[in-house]
Structure 1
Amino acid sequence: MPRHFAIVPAAGSGSRFGAEKPKQYLDLLGRPLIFHTLAALVACPDIERVWVVLVPDDPWWHRYDWSELGAKLETVACGGATRAESVGNGLGAAAMVAADDDWILVHDAARPCLDQAMLTRLFAELADDPVGGILAVPVADTVKRADAAQRVAATEPRDGLWQAQTPQMFRHGLLRAALASSRAVTDEAGAVEAMGLAPKLVRGDVTNLKVTWPADLALAAMILRARK
């Protein structure tokens, strides 16, 4: 049976958030934000190992105690200038133990509200899929396209539109090949799509939000508190 591994690219600075330190280290319920992200992954019995991809000179990681997350967690200091580069380097590290046919889950460091039900659904729906896929939610709001003056240029039909989330789950060999040929993509599915393949959309949940703005951090805290 193919095994499951996870990669969490955590080499970004979170510049849009505007904080003094990378957003993955911001406080969320008394822990660094990324702690909650990693806790969800290591708690999954089907995931054998979780690699966190850090920048080589990351000054923050070693300021915190990660021992509670257990032996599944490993760090690799090979983060790159882009997400694709960081994930590609992480896949290279994973190649020491992962076979081409094993599954790799790539999950955002700043998406701390992933739960086990989402992972169970992702594994179940992709178990025999020839391509792989991603968690996503249908777009619920009306979508406007802006012009240069930030006025409405057009209203876009939302039928068939989905908002991509993570984890994004693909075979190790396929994902390495895809990212090697498509470095400018903003997510792993985009690299797979560039190979002419169609990843499957697996219904996620709006609670699986990515912390991008300060208000998102407060919302993530509310979601995690409610689960407890």
Structure 2
Amino acid sequence: MAISSPRVAVVVVAGGRGLRAGGEVPKQYRLLGGRPVIARTIGAFLAHPAVATILPVIHPDDAALYAAAASGWRDPAGRVRAPVLGGAERQASVRAGLEALAADAPDLVLIHDAVRPFVTPAAVDAAIAALADHVAVVVGTPVVDTVNRTDAAGAVVETVPREGLWRAATPQGFRFSAILAAHRAAAAAGRNGFTDDGAVAAAAGHAVHMVAIAEGNVKLTTPADFAAAEARLAAETFLRLPDVRVGVGYDVHALEPGDAVWLGGVRIPHDHRLKGHSDADAALHALTDAILGAIGDGDIGRHFPPSDERWRGAASSLFLADAVRRVRERGGVVAHCDVAIVAEAPKIGPHREAMRAAIAAACGIPVDRVGVKATTNEGLGFTGRREGIAAIATATIRLPLPEDDAS
């Protein structure tokens, strides 16, 4: 029987380790377009008006990673509940999430993989609508390719008819009381090998209905998946942000006796240091001004005046991060950065890749969108005399069109 105006909860399953994706952190916390994957996934559900509650289920070791990711979404209504800790297997993690919802049970629950950040409003709508007539639904796409079964050596032994075959995805949707009971029954019977919740529901005797959704709701599993997702996200982002702007920044700092210089967010041992109120990172100062110039928002001195003691000795990465924040608050992104450092010494080449990585992380963009180069001044001028170091930077940003121009 259909439920009028059902309360819908989403359990976001984020307890896995994601070893096949590579990297140093579980794949649900890896950056995708500068944001953790889980932040993008939860953000997609926060953007859906039918979703009342979102409950993440995380690995016990990932509390700090989750807390950092949680700063990446806005939730003024408090729809994202505090995360619960998952179990050794996905099935146990889902059950932990369902049990946590039981005290204030929703009518419907959608169970979704945290590493499917491209879930669309249409997919959520389709799952919720289907639950008006079904107890359990699984979204997916029909198989259209030829399917072969092979032996251990890789030889084809059978071509499997593809009629009626589907590629299952998430969210998988259920009447809440039914799927909670099904999970409890499976656990009580010691049946812990189910890999998705549709199978748990089927084992409890419920008919599971497939719901067709559009292609693209991919699960990020391998390094190739992440590379494809970055390319897709960049293309989608750039298409919706047609206002392209370029800013230019320039900065110079004198050298004085010391033991290291900061350039491009990297500490480089040297017999001098750059003189300034902050860490005097001329490269990041120039880039910060370039970004601020692109959005017409003053310069670094306006936002972080050297007369303010709060910024004495401050890391210039803070200034760059603030400029990037100002771009994002306008609904835009930093698309590309290029920095040229003019210095006789120290040598920049050995530190170039570390600088690119630091700038990419601060701007939330892939490292292949960051350029760092260096040149000497051939002994000419103040840089040639080793009295100081200069930097020139350009930044390309993309913004949505102003409302007056959108038509």
Give the TM-score of the pair, scaled to structure 2: 0.53
- Residue 88 of structure 1: aligned partner: 95
Aligned residues: 225
Equivalents in 1 of 2:87, 2:94: separation in Å? 8
Task: Verify: 1:146 aligned to 2:150, yes or no.
Answer: yes
Task: Verify: 1:191 aligned to 2:200, yes or no.
Answer: yes
Equivalents in 2 of 1:78, 1:169: separation in Å? 21
- After the TM superposition, which parts of structure 1 deviate over 4 Å for at least 4 consecutive aligned residues? none
Query: Residue 165 of structure 1 contacts residue 204 of structure 1 at CA under 8 Å; is this kept in 2?
Result: no
Query: Residue 113 of structure 1 contacts residue 223 of structure 1 at CA under 8 Å; is this kept in 2?
Result: no
Per-residue deviation, 1:67 = 5.8
Equivalents in 1 of 2:206, 2:232: separation in Å? 34
| More deviation, 117-126/132-141 | 117-126
Query: Residue 49 of structure 1 contacts residue 72 of structure 1 at CA under 8 Å; is this kept in 2?
Result: yes
Work out which of the two has the higher radius of gyration on C-alpha atoms and give 1 or 2: 2
Equivalents in 1 of 2:196, 2:115: separation in Å? 14
Task: Verify: 1:218 aligned to 2:230, yes or no.
Answer: no
Equivalents in 1 of 2:102, 2:112: separation in Å? 18
SS in 1 for 2:229: helix
Letter in 1 for 2:94: V
Task: Verify: 1:37 aligned to 2:41, yes or no.
Answer: yes
Per-residue deviation, 1:34 = 1.1
Query: Residue 53 of structure 1 contacts residue 75 of structure 1 at CA under 8 Å; is this kept in 2?
Result: no
Query: Residue 136 of structure 2 contacts residue 206 of structure 2 at CA under 8 Å; is this kept in 1?
Result: no
- Residue 160 of structure 1: aligned partner: 164
The superposition leaves residues 46-86 of structure 1 with CA deviations (integer Å, 9 ceiling, x where unpaired) of 11010001122314212334363302112323210111100
SS in 1 for 2:82: strand
Once the two structures are superposed, the pairs formed by residues 83-162 of structure 1 within 5 Å of their partners are: 83-99=90-106, 102-126=107-131, 128-162=132-166
Structure 1 unaligned blocks of 5 or more = none
Task: Verify: 1:201 aligned to 2:206, yes or no.
Answer: no
Pair 64,167 (structure 1): closer, same or farther in 2 beyond 3 Å: closer
Q: 2:11 aligns with which of 7, 10, 13?
A: 7
Equivalents in 1 of 2:235, 2:104: separation in Å? 37
Q: 1:169 aligns with which of 166, 173, 184?
A: 173
The superposition leaves residues 143-192 of structure 1 with CA deviations (integer Å, 9 ceiling, x where unpaired) of 11121223222211111100001000001111111122333210000011
Structure 2 unaligned blocks of 5 or more = 187-191, 238-407
Query: Residue 134 of structure 1 contacts residue 164 of structure 1 at CA under 8 Å; is this kept in 2?
Result: yes
Per-residue deviation, 1:226 = 4.0
Equivalents in 1 of 2:69, 2:122: separation in Å? 28
- Residue 242 of structure 2: aligned partner: none
Pair 65,172 (structure 1): closer, same or farther in 2 beyond 3 Å: closer
Pair 188,209 (structure 1): closer, same or farther in 2 beyond 3 Å: same
Letter in 2 for 1:62: A
The superposition leaves residues 5-53 of structure 1 with CA deviations (integer Å, 9 ceiling, x where unpaired) of 0001111001222332100011100001111111111111111010001
Query: Residue 113 of structure 1 contacts residue 224 of structure 1 at CA under 8 Å; is this kept in 2?
Result: no
Per-residue deviation, 1:218 = 2.3
| More deviation, 113-122/63-72 | 63-72
Per-residue deviation, 1:208 = 0.4
Q: Aligned-pair RMSD on alpha carbons?
A: 1.6
SS in 1 for 2:179: helix
Letter in 2 for 1:151: A
SS in 1 for 2:126: helix
Tell me the percent identity. 40
Equivalents in 1 of 2:231, 2:141: separation in Å? 20
Query: Residue 9 of structure 1 contacts residue 107 of structure 1 at CA under 8 Å; is this kept in 2?
Result: yes
Query: Residue 38 of structure 1 contacts residue 69 of structure 1 at CA under 8 Å; is this kept in 2?
Result: no
Equivalents in 2 of 1:24, 1:224: separation in Å? 16
Equivalents in 2 of 1:82, 1:202: separation in Å? 26
Equivalents in 2 of 1:209, 1:159: separation in Å? 22
